[in-house]
Structure 1
């Protein structure tokens, strides 16, 4: 440990931040079982499961829960395969310079905050003086205000999420592909296997453990939709875009109903944990691959 102390120094700060913001707040989980924030501090009392009963009976929460499920699984359905496809395509490129250039371009959005991403897409899709308005003029139709459209906001959230994260995930899959033994492809060519057959039977089969682990990780954070919706969705589209975490933020922070907001967050965390356990169990049953 002493010889590798530089590595421990490097990891110390991110580990401290993770502990402060991810684990230390768990000491206050008991607030979810109190009326903290809704009464004076001297009158705070234990209310049991009342907050959980209230949120289940709340139309606003059920709307946020439904939107979260729909948006999350749209992201999973359309967003999860795209990085794999990108990685497969990049792997077939022979030009090292071109491959590195494409990797850099598609990876760059991963470093941008949702504030920057939201600003970029707002400038592109604004109803006036934008690419969106110019394209609508060429088509002879009225420009769509995407950020204020209940019908389009979910698709916009999915599209921007894929744009921001597909490059990072593709690099992970590409790294797994580079570890495949090249002699497997040579043997497949000798046996007369075509390119698609090689991709299906060698490439995808070899990176299957990585795909399974990435899927489990994706399901673990599938309900973690906050920054994107908070920045890109206005109250006008909350009917179809409000999610659990923005609902918890409004009730727990904006309205100072701390106990109720904490209950909402615990409910979300419990659902995510169950999804991880189920997915891990299914993965181990089918392919004997899992995180634990």
Structure 2
């Protein structure tokens, strides 16, 4: 018995020591942990707490008096699949998301590669600041800026149209151009931030690889393709998975920049869920729409992650 007690003491000793060390470390950095409290609380409040009400998606909550609320099974999901308005929003979401992915995802990589080739430090920092700055703007500010630029009168858009002798396009009210506007403004707002991430990954590339490539006679394009891009491939894969995870999360931008007149080509799942769930108070139905969107996004992440691991053994999990 004495031997057993000694063994347990020997095991618990290091454990208590590690716990005390962790607590001391937390105490020393308590200011940093205190700073995290507010954003963590906001994230839990708006991202995880609503999950407690997921059961509403299987009820007629909001469409009947509260005393008559009952479970309707998968009826809400069947309704949305047969809804022409939802299918149009779903189609628009896929089209706009695909356009953002195809045209928007490579641009930050290209920007990072171009910045990496700039030797003038001051100019490089200035360019980084300029392209990164729009990331801090809300979509309200971004929408206002681009409305002033693209307004049909007294704007850069109207002046260009006058010089070229054509009628100015009212981008914000044009069904034919609203998708392009959403994609371009999204790239303008987010490309700088993503470029900084790629640029940070490029700085970790071993410089001796470039020196060896030069000795072997490799040109600049060959160095970028076989060294730079190959070295930051894990970062590109992870960023792609993250991008696919949020690819269907299009709400603020469309709500602010797309008027009802262009909903035929710009209405998306989240704005549809907002109108039906909040404006029309069909809360159970709106929750079903949101769950459907979340399931599609989660499936895309799983497929992309599995594909990335199968091809290059790289992924998030």
TM-score > 0.5, shorter chain as reference? yes
1:19 maps to 44
1:243 maps to 268
Within the candidate set 209, 232, 235, 2:234 is matched to 209
Distance 1:133 1:280 in 2: 46
CA offset digits 1:119-168 (Å, max 9, x no partner) = 00001000111111111011111111111110100000000000000000
Distance 2:282 2:228 in 1: 51
Shift of residue 5 of structure 1? Answer: 2.0
2:287 maps to 262
Q: Determine whether 1:139 maps to 2:159.
A: no
Within the candidate set 26, 29, 42, 2:54 is matched to 29
Shift of residue 9 of structure 1? Answer: 1.3
CA offset digits 1:105-125 (Å, max 9, x no partner) = 000000000000000000100
2:18 maps to none
1:225 maps to 250
Within the candidate set 200, 207, 212, 1:182 is matched to 207
1:123 maps to 148
Shift of residue 263 of structure 1? Answer: 0.3
Shift of residue 2 of structure 1? Answer: 2.0
Shift of residue 6 of structure 1? Answer: 2.3
1:72 maps to 97
Distance 1:21 1:146 in 2: 33
Q: Determine whether 1:282 maps to 2:286.
A: no
Within the candidate set 168, 177, 182, 2:193 is matched to 168
Larger radius of gyration: 2
Shift of residue 98 of structure 1? Answer: 0.3
Distance 1:6 1:205 in 2: 40
Shift of residue 8 of structure 1? Answer: 1.3
CA offset digits 1:173-227 (Å, max 9, x no partner) = 0000001111111111111110001000110000000000000000000000000
Within the candidate set 113, 136, 144, 2:138 is matched to 113
CA offset digits 1:58-117 (Å, max 9, x no partner) = 000000000000000100000000000000000000001000000000000000000000
RMSD (Å), alpha carbons: 0.6
Within the candidate set 52, 56, 61, 2:77 is matched to 52
Structure 1, gaps ≥5 residues long: none
Within the candidate set 71, 90, 112, 2:115 is matched to 90
Distance 1:11 1:264 in 2: 32
Shift of residue 273 of structure 1? Answer: 0.2
Distance 2:76 2:242 in 1: 29
Matched position secondary structure for 2:213: helix
Distance 1:289 1:3 in 2: 36
Matched position secondary structure for 1:2: helix
Shift of residue 11 of structure 1? Answer: 1.4
Using the size of structure 1 for normalisation, the TM-score is 0.99
1:157 maps to 182
Structure 2, gaps ≥5 residues long: 1-25
